[in-house]
Structure formats: C-alpha cells, structure tokens
Chain A
Amino acid sequence: MIAFFPLFKTFYDSFYDFSLRPDSIRKFVGLRNYIDLFRDPRFLSALKATVYFTIVSVTLETILGIGIALLLNHDFPLRGLVRAAVLVPWAIPTAVSSQMWRWMFNDQFGIMTRLLEKIGLIEPGTPILGLPQTAMNAIIAVDVWKTTPFMALLILAGLQVIPSELYEAAKIDGANIFQRFYRITLPMIRSTIAVALIFRSLDALRVFDVVYIMTRGSLGTETLAVYNRVLLMDRAFTGNWFGYGSALSVIIFLLISIFAVIYIKSLRLQLE
C-alpha cells in the first residue's frame, strides 16, 4: 500500500498542469501531457538512447556473463577467491564507480584514454566523454563492468545444477566441446538466462546514476530517467512542468511493467 500510493498520485498528477511553487494552480488537461510528450524531440531522443543503452549493455552482459560463469564452473585452486573478486564491481556504489571510470576516461590524464590511443581504437586527443557516440559507449562500458558479475553469478547458479553425467555421456559419444555447449549447456540454462535477461532489462530501462554522473545527460546520452528528473526537479519549480514530468514517469512505469509482467509470469511457471 505505502509503495502504491505515490504511484497512483503520479498517475493522477499526469492529467494536470501545475508547478511545484506553493501558489501554483492545478489545471485539468486530460491526455494533453501524453500527446505533447510524443511530439517532444527531447523525449524521443531519450527514448532512443534508453533503448540503445538497454539492448547493447544487456547483450554484452549476457555474453560476458555466460563466459565468466563457464570459467568459474571449472574447479581450480583459488576459485572461491576469484568468485569473490567478481563481486567487487557489484558492491561498489554506482556513483563511486562512475567517478572512478570518469577519471579513467579523462581526456588528458585518463589511463583508459591512453590505453585506447595506444592500441589504436581512438585517435590521439579524442575526448571520449565529449563526443556523442564514444560518450554513450563509455557509459555502457561502466554498466557492463558493474553488472556482468551479477549476471555471471546468476548463470553460474544455473550451471551448477547440470548433472556432470550428461557431459560424460556426451564425451563418450564423441561430442566436442562446442557441441556439448550447444546441445547440453545452453538448453539447460535457458530459463536461468531468460530470467537474468529480463531482470537486467528492468534495471537498464531505468538507468540514472551512471548517465547523470558521467555526462549529466549531455551529448545525446540523456536517458528517460535523467530527462524525467530534469522535468520534475529542475523545471517544475519555475514553470508548469510537474504534470508533464508525471506523464513521463507513468510511461517509464508502463514500459518497465511490460517486462515485469513477463518476468513474474516466467517465475510462476517455475513455481508450478
């Protein structure tokens, strides 16, 4: 209940025009906020940036996550330690890791900038966080660094329930390592991957911290959540933007709900 009330209020507010000034007068506008949103180029570009961010980062995280999970599924000395090391990026606050990476991507003194120049991926003197495409990719790199471990551990949990007899039987039958991966591993962890994928998409669609800290949403990196906060907190104190911002909040909520419903449905299937 406590959690749902603010959501209803957001929904209700999205049909009005008003500001956060104490003397602001509410005006009912019906669906106009929503119609205006879809004519707002800044909203459309934020939507595009969010979708791009979500697809690229979640894809990379899944592939790398599967790779790391496969590595950690082998027995080797110090495995426990390596598994703990993988948790480090996850535990560091996003705000803090974003600052660490922002320093590594610094255009003059950043070590990543130097490295990328040395291996020829960027031209010397490229300001990574100062150009639209590279800035977005840098943001994705930070997100991938932070959340791949989480993905890897989820997938590892799925890998560990696969009975080893399956692999031995396949080996006897002469299946090579790739065949074993495609025919045994992948089908067995499919549902784990599906759940992890949706779980991560939910997170990626509302991304705020990394973007806000790395670029403040400049250079086409502005995501829906960042634009939403601009409307609600920066603009609504001076103009009638609060209802408009609430409409955007509702849209973000609906977008994420679609994924959440799929997620809960797949969980229920597992429960039954």
Chain B
Amino acid sequence: MKKVGKLLFYILVILVVIWCFFPFYWAIVSSLKTDRELFEPNPSLVPKKPSFENYVKVFKERPFHVNILNSVVVAGTTTILTLTFGSLAGYAIARFKFRGKITVMTSILAVSMFPQISILGSLFIILRSMRLINTYLGLILPYTAMTLPLTTWVLQNFFRELPKSIEEAAAIDGCSHARTLFTIVLPMAAPGLVATGLLTFISAWNEFLFALTFMQKPNLYTVPVAIALFKGRSMYEIPWGQIMAASVIVTVPLIILVLIFQRRIIEGLSAGAIKG
C-alpha cells in the first residue's frame, strides 16, 4: 500500500514537471525543425534533422537583434532607476518614524494593483505631448512608476529585518545617514536587492500593453511585441519556426536566471504578496 502511494506520488510530480516544461520543450523542438517537417500532419517529438536555419533567419530577415537591444536598454534602465529610488524610499519607511506611515504603505500597495489599461489612454496623451512616443524614455518612465511601489514595499521588509545595532554603532561613530545607507545597509541588503532587481527586470522585460502602444515602429519594438507581431511574407503565412526560435532565444536566459535565483525569487514574491 505504501509503495503504491509512493509510486502515485512520483507519477504526479513527474506530470507536474512535464506540464510546466512541455510548451518550452515543444518550442525548442519546433524551432529546430525545417519548414517541411514543421508542417507534417503527424508531428514527431524530436526533430529528425535538426537545423539552425530558423535561428539564422530571425536575425537575417528581421531586426530581432535590435528588438533584444531595445528590451535590454528599457528593462535595464528601469531596474537601475527602480532599485536606486526604491532603496532610498524603502530605507526611509523602514527606519524613520513619520506620521501616516500606514497610509503611505497602503497607497503604495494600491498603486501596484493599478490596472494598466485604465491609464493607457491618458498616458498616451501625456507622452505624446512630451514627444516621448517612440522613445526609450517613453517606456522607462511608466515602467519605473509602475514597479517602484512594489520594490519599495519589498525592500522596506528586507531593511526592517536587518539588525539595527550596527547602524546605531555607525551613528555613534559619526557616520551620516546617507553614508550608513550606502556603506553598511545596502551591502547587507544585497540579497534582497538582487531578488527585487530581478523581479523588476523580469516584469519590465515581459510587459506587453504599454510596449505595444507606445512603440509604434518595428525597429523600436521590445521583444514581447516583436514576437507577438512576427509577420510572414504573406498575410496568411505565419513563420512558426522563426517565432519559436525567437521565443527560445529570449526564454533561455530568463530560465537560467530563475533556476539560479529561485530561492530569492520565491522569497521576494511571497514578501510582496503575503507578508505585508
């Protein structure tokens, strides 16, 4: 009886893993198939003659490397800005007493639950009047505004858990608040910064609605928009092999990052959603 239970348990675990990985596996397999094999009525589970043709085409037939660069610039800048302002604000909330702290924290949380769609229109008008449509800044500014609240929230949680005594010792030795923050607190909070930085980067990298609306030229598209709008030579032809190749290219680094930092990410996620 116990053996049967154990077997069932492992079968369930394996099913879960297959369920999580299969679409990604299938994208890899499809990206390595030639068009002829791709459009066979009975698809085979492994490519018969693996070919990197699709990977070459993604960069040759369209500006996918430019799209990757766009995403790196936008998500990278957003992460740096968010971490800088987020750690300053988070430290202030964690360490200094001021009135209405709970109100500040609740409104921070409220902003992070904002439906992006309900500010899409007015943001478009604002960005258009500032001539920021079709610029990197036009995405970086809204992204920073959207991710900053949650980052602040998570970081202040990390700061609060750091021992206060070291900072007090520094203060007695005549260390200013700013210096304490940069030379003592931030290095101690490095694991928290890595986790939140990664979460910010992933959410900016993955964002679709704003990117689709505020970048209207194919050579300014970010990665998700480019992949969503991949066009074939004719209206009726969807270049599936190339879409899968592009998907694999941008997903592999993300998966590696997630596997390396999984523990920290899980901590960051649950800190943002549950701990309060």
Binding site for B on A (CB under 8 A): 2-4, 6-7, 9-10, 13, 20, 68, 71, 74, 76, 80, 82-89, 91-101, 103-104, 106, 108-109, 111, 114, 145, 149-150, 153-154, 157-158, 192, 195-196, 199, 202, 205-206, 208-209, 212-213, 224-225, 228-229, 232-233, 236, 242, 245-246, 249-250, 252-253, 256, 260, 263-264, 267-268, 270-271
Q: Quote the shortest CB–CB distance from A67 to chain B (angstroms).
A: 8
B 234-251 to A, binary, CB cutoff 8 A, 1 in contact else 0: 000000100110010011
Chain A residues with CB under 8 Å of B251's CB are 91-93, 96
Contacts A3-B111, A101-B23 given; indicate if A13 touches B121 (C-beta within 8 A): yes
Contact among A71, A101, A195, A260 for B13, CB-based, below 8 A: A71
Contact assessment for B115 and A263 in the assembled complex, using a CB-CB cutoff below 8 Å: no
Chain B residues with CB under 8 Å of A195's CB are 273-274
Contacts A88-B20, A92-B251 given; indicate if A229 touches B120 (C-beta within 8 A): yes
Chain B residues with CB under 8 Å of A245's CB are 121
Binding site for A on B (CB under 8 A): 9-10, 12-13, 16-17, 19-21, 23-24, 26-27, 30, 38-43, 102, 106, 109-111, 113-126, 145-146, 149, 202, 205-206, 208-209, 212-213, 223-225, 227-228, 230, 240, 243-244, 247, 250-251, 254-255, 257-259, 262, 265-266, 269-270, 273-274, 276
Chain A residues with CB under 8 Å of B230's CB are 99
Q: Quote the shortest CB–CB distance from B96 to chain A (angstroms).
A: 19
Chain B residues with CB under 8 Å of A263's CB are 113
When C-beta atoms are compared, the residue in chain A nearest to B115 turns out to be: A206
Chain A residues with CB under 8 Å of B205's CB are 93
Contact assessment for A145 and B23 in the assembled complex, using a CB-CB cutoff below 8 Å: yes
Contact among A196, A202, A246 for B122, CB-based, below 8 A: A246
Chain A residues with CB under 8 Å of B41's CB are 108-109
A-B contact pairs, 26 of them (CB 8 A): A3-B146, A10-B118, A71-B12, A76-B13, A83-B262, A87-B258, A88-B258, A91-B202, A92-B24, A93-B208, A93-B227, A95-B228, A96-B223, A99-B228, A100-B27, A103-B26, A104-B26, A109-B41, A145-B19, A199-B273, A206-B115, A208-B208, A209-B224, A233-B120, A252-B115, A268-B276
Query: 16 extra interchain contacts, Cβ-Cβ under 8 A, other than A10-B122, A98-B228?
Result: A7-B122, A9-B126, A92-B254, A93-B205, A93-B208, A95-B206, A96-B251, A114-B43, A149-B20, A153-B266, A157-B274, A199-B273, A208-B117, A225-B115, A236-B121, A256-B118
Contact assessment for B259 and A233 in the assembled complex, using a CB-CB cutoff below 8 Å: no
